[in-house]
Amino acid sequence: MSTPSSPAPRAPMLSTAEALATLLAAARPLAETETVATLDALNRVLASDVVSPLDVPPMHTSAMDGYAVRVGDLSHGDRRLPVSQRIPAGHAPEPLAAGTAARIFTGATLPPGADAVVMQEQTQAAGDEVEILHTPKAGEWITAQGADIRRDSVILPAGTRLTPQALGLAASIGCAQLTVTRRVKVAVFFTGDELTMPGEPLKPGAIYNSSRFTLRGLLERLDCEVTDYGIVPDQREATRATLREAAREHDLILTSGGVSVGEEDHVRPAVEAEGRLAMWQIAMKPGKPLAFGAVRRADEEGHPGGNANEAYFIGLPGNPVSSFVTFLLFVRPFVLRVAGVQHVAPHTLSLRADFTQTKGDRRNEFLRARVNAAGGLDLFPNQSSAVLTSTVWGDGLIDNPPNHAISAGETVRFIPFSELLS
């Protein structure tokens, strides 16, 4: 008589660190680059180092409105000097004659021979002369040539995501164009016959598709080139057809919901038929399930290609907060790494908890909280994965370790949304 076989043991849940490390290890940075105008390069990722062809500033300049002088001329006790020239910014000066001062303005080129600037508040003008009321030291109020940037130095390394200030820095060395990685192309779609678009009648049992708006907005904040396939019917063939079309022209396919094992969850078998899929259980709350894999691209004759000819696939949970949090923690760094960004971890803060949570969860919790007027953190009262209100009310996520209760007054690790949404 045979005995029934026992079910296979469930694989242990991955930690958030393990899941992120696996994702980032699989990310292949894009090789394709393009040249864009510096004015149009905001949020793009540099494909090569930006090297300065010049010193900045390219000459010694005055850091103040005042008078350029020779310190040695003031050592004899004569504080009244004739003004020999006037130097506005953008004009080439004459050498400073011994025993004279030059009227000079902020940013103007220091005249040869001058070795200090006395700010105008420490002088007294008297016709064609100026009385110096302060004994300067050599170099005082002078911005030296190359004080900001030295010629041939790397000012922006490859992999830098270009902020407004980075664009200004590139412009300061005369860069009119920058070589950047092309934008990451992402296809997104949603499954579920219960999903309804705002503006349409809400049928019994239906819900509005909030995740479509959230995920598209998050992708656009990352400067992705997004194709939205909308709501795909809960049919396996329809899902497979969408995957094939999306894989053809995109680097990543992103979905929300439909990757469970229910009879109406068609994304998982569709991806497995069109490529490969790993289902992960991550020890986190919210957002325990995550799917990662790839969908094959067909070649020009319609034949499937190999692993190098694939579009990545990431399947997020269906609950709106779960999809939001897992996007921020996993999809965001993955997309940035594919775009060529080297440093993808958000900066975190250590802040005081102004609340008590008497019981920790066995999983790594990401609690929605906001900074109060006293500089501490308040906790949103309902941490359910369906309460999207918490993501608007909050300023970020508390990264709470497994099995850790939080006492009022203790220091917790806080990840601001300002870091996760940039």
CATH code where residue 163 lies? 3.90.105.10
Q: Do 133 and 101 fall within a single domain?
A: yes
Is 202 within a domain? yes
Domain containing residue 139: CATH number: 2.170.190.11
Report how far residue 59's alpha carbon sits from residue 55's, in angstroms, rounded to the nearest whole number: 8
Report yes or no: 316 and 297 within 8 Å, Cβ to Cβ: no
One digit per residue, pLDDT tens: the chain, 422 residues? 445 555 555 667 899 999 999 999 999 999 999 999 999 999 999 999 999 999 999 999 999 999 999 999 997 777 899 999 999 999 999 999 999 999 999 999 999 999 999 999 999 999 999 999 999 999 999 999 999 999 999 999 999 999 999 999 999 999 999 999 999 999 999 887 788 888 888 888 888 889 999 999 999 999 999 999 998 888 889 999 999 999 999 999 999 886 655 545 678 899 999 999 998 899 999 998 899 999 999 765 454 444 469 999 999 998 899 999 999 999 999 999 999 998 999 999 999 999 999 999 999 999 999 999 999 999 999 999 989 999 999 999 999 999 999 999 999 999 999 999 98
* Alpha carbon of residue 139 to chain centroid: 39
**Are 73 and 98 part of one and the same domain?**
yes
- Are 141 and 117 in contact by the 8 Å Cβ rule? The answer is yes
Residue 248 belongs to a domain: yes
Q: Is residue 343 included in any domain, yes or no?
A: no
The answer on 40 and 25 residing in a single domain is: no
Please name which of 297, 227, 221 lies closest in space to residue 255, comparing C-alpha atoms.
Answer: 227
**How many whole angstroms from its chain centre is CA 368?**
20
pTM of the model: 0.88
Do 173 and 296 have their domain in common?
A: no
> Domain check: are 191 and 333 in the same one?
yes
Statement to judge: residues 107 and 40 lie in one domain:
no
331 with 231, same domain: the answer is yes
Flag whether 11 is in a domain: no
- State the Cα–Cα distance between residues 124 and 102, nearest whole angstrom: 14
**Which runs of consecutive H residues, i.e. helices, occur in 39-134?**
none
The H helix count followed by the E strand count for the chain is: 9, 26
Is there a domain that residue 4 lies in?
A: no
**CA 163 to chain CA centroid, nearest Å:** 9
204 lies in the same domain as 129: no
Same domain flag for 238 and 299: yes
317 and 376 together in one domain: no
Q: Which domain holds residue 372?
A: 349-420
Rounded to whole angstroms, how far apart are CA atoms 334 and 347? 16
Q: How many domains does the chain have?
A: 4
107 and 160 both lie in a single domain: no
Which of 311, 338, 365 finishes a domain?
338
